[in-house]
Amino acid sequence: MGNEEKISRRQAAKKTYSWELVTFEKQGKLWLEWRTDAPFRAQKDKIEVYKGKWPHNPDSEATAWTWAESNSPVGGWNSGIEFGSDWYCARIAQKAPDGPYVYMEQIITKG
């Protein structure tokens, strides 16, 4: 048997946070809300809206986008897009450190 050391007095802490993305129609337009209970924001996160598909590179081909502060503006964000089916909406953020963008939450609108 090798030099196996016994571990003692080990402690651990865990905290879970959630992020939420919501789409809705208001005044015929596609609006989005987002929120989190995390005391920090995801790295360089954005809200992006794409037409008809999820791009391989999340930071490309957006029809509309905005920087995502921790929580959306009161009342939501007006994307300026006519509401309808097949709008692909997502919060994206960079993988650390300064890596490529990845999808966090994703929604496909229904008409």
pLDDT of 1 = 56
The answer to whether the CB of 107 falls within 8 A of the CB of 89 is yes
**What 3-state class would DSSP assign to 21?**
strand
- Block residue for tokens 């929604």: 107
Domains for the chain: give ranges and CATH numbers. 19-108 (2.60.40)
pLDDT of 7 = 87
* Per-position pLDDT tens, the chain of length 111: 567 888 899 999 999 999 999 999 999 999 999 998 988 878 889 999 999 999 999 999 999 999 997 678 888 999 999 999 999 999 999 998 888 999 999 999 998
- Block residue for tokens 């081909």: 61
Q: What angle do CA 43, 83, 48 make, to 5 degrees?
A: 15
